[in-house]
Structures are given as structure tokens and as C-alpha cells.
Structure 1
């Protein structure tokens, strides 16, 4: 689904230093269990691929995503997460796009939301590729710090979770964000929309790591 701002979940390959769109593979990420990587290593690897895809899309489409208001970005994330859950529940997939690609799209749409939140109000719609890369890297670095802090406190409990449960957590966060948006973005005791976007981004990273380690999707 193009969603009017380009699909931010299609896989890419890097050849001779240039970004090139590739045919979508069955599993876009390698079996990570064969690599001696820590969770921060996994994060860096996955975010580097998401970044390369995002910048390739920026080259093709410019910054059309800047037109999207936050509720529209939230809805795009919902479309991706809901498709993942539908496939998990039915076990049937009629469109070739791999589920992992949807998690990649969730990561990039969350980063779009975070960039939109923090870019100054007078920022023009059209940004240079350098400005996009700077904003993207800033938000990705902030999320990395959050991931490491929570990973320390919770002891990587997410590694014992099922991918389907992570999908449910993303959908739960989406419903919270929608409620906050309907309330004008005002939260009384809960975190605001920024915290939810950051959590959803990291949940999608966890799901990609688990899928890369060979976890099967469970049908509820």
C-alpha cells in the first residue's frame, strides 16, 4: 500500500555504494541467530537498513510525508499493524509483501511522526536529503537510548515474547494514541504521543529481531 507518501517498508539492496530498489525477498532480514550480535548491534543493523530505505524513498519522492498530520501517520501505522495481525490470525497472505516489511514500515512511520513532532513549525515542506538524514538520525539515536535504558531495567524480557504479542502491544499503543489525538493531544497521567511512537518503534525492532531468529508467527 503506497499510502500517498511512498511505501516505507519495501526492501532494498546496496550495490557499489548506491541505493537500489530490489525485488522483495521472502525474508528481508538474515537469520540473526547465526550472528554474534547484541541487542544494540541488532538495533544498529536494522535501523541502518530502515534509514537506507527511507533515504532512497526521499530521493524518489522528496519529502511528501511532510504533508501528513500526526493522526494521518497514526492511521498509516495502524494499517500496517492491522495487516500483520490479520495474517497472524488467519495464516493466509494474498499480497506478496512480507510481514517483516510491514514492521520496517512501522519503524519508518514512527520516525516520520517523531520528526514531525520536533521539526520547528516554520520548517518548509520540502527538505534537503541532508536535513532529512540529520532529523532521522537524531530521532533514531533518541530511540536507541530509550531502548538501552528499558532493556537494562526489564532484562530483555521481550525475548521471551511471541511476535503476535508484540503486534498486539503495537495495536494497543495505537488505540492510546488515537484517544490522545481525539483529546487534543492532552494526557493527564499517561505518557504523551511521543512516548507511544517511541515504544512502537522499538516493539517493531524487537519483532524483526525475533523473526530474524526464526520465530514462527503463531495463530491465536
Structure 2
């Protein structure tokens, strides 16, 4: 499974994600140039109709690989709460009904676990990172960050559910961590790092 391309599209217009993946691949000595969707304005949003993080990541990666004619990586992630049977899960970004309304999503989740005792507030962030080639070949790697949900938001450094999520072994929420501390343990970083050797194999 290989390709001669030394350029790869990360299916995002988020500059922070691009920088993160560039750093991870550089640390893994994977010689590939990462570009984002800003170089492909004709590529629109891909509907996330999958039932798992991996399915959604693959949908996006394949769509971008076909449109751009280059290998593509896409990711999908969310928070999974034990007391809610693993929800919001793939619906994390639109849990309150409106996509991307972080405050409404967070407040709804807090309301739903308000009567759940602390010892039963286990949760984890999950991320699936998918690599797709224009040929249709694909690979998926996953990353998980376990922790728990707290009573009220704390910290200003994060987004989404970061202010109410305390990682395992920590007393601070993700939003109270520095960017470097978050990147070192994040579910997305873990998924990208797991995908790095796969990418090295596929472009060798």
C-alpha cells in the first residue's frame, strides 16, 4: 500500500489542527507536506452521516481524497458520557440541536448529569483519524482520553466540552491546561500519532 505523493490534505480549515499534525509528523520523521482545505475552496462540507467516529472520518477523508486527487486525512471526535450510555458521542457538536453552539451543548450536558453522583460521572473523549488515498485505500487510527465530568465549567483555554472535562490523573479541566499540556494528552493528538507510522508505510 503506497503512493508517491509527498503532499497530503488535512480535511479542515482549522489552522491549529494543521500545525498540530505537521508537528506530529515531523516528530515521527514522516516526510510529507500537510496542506488544508483552504487550498481547495471548491470542496464543500461533507455530511457526517456515519454512525461512528470512524465512519464519519472515513466519509470526509474519501470525499477530500477524491476531490483533491491527493491522500487525505480527516478526523471526527466527541465526548462520550458513561451515565448517558456513551452519548453525546458523534452528536457532540450538535447535542443541543444547533451545530457548533458550544455553550448550549455544554449546558444541556450538565443539566442531563446534574443528579448523577461524582463517582458515576465517568466519560471519555474519543477521536478517529482516517487516512484515504485517491485509489480508495483507507486506514483508521483512534485515540481516547478518559476522565470525568464536573459540576460546572472551569477554565478559559479550551472549547466545546473542555471546561467540564477533567482528564484521568488530573485535578484541572482541559480548559485549565496550557495548550502544550492539552496537546500532549489529547484524544486527537493520540489518534494522529497512531496514524503517523501508517502514513509513513503508505507513502514509502
Q: TM-score, normalised by structure 1?
A: 0.27
Which structure has the highest helix share of the two?
Answer: 1
Which structure has the highest strand share of the two?
Answer: 2
Q: TM-score, normalised by structure 2?
A: 0.29
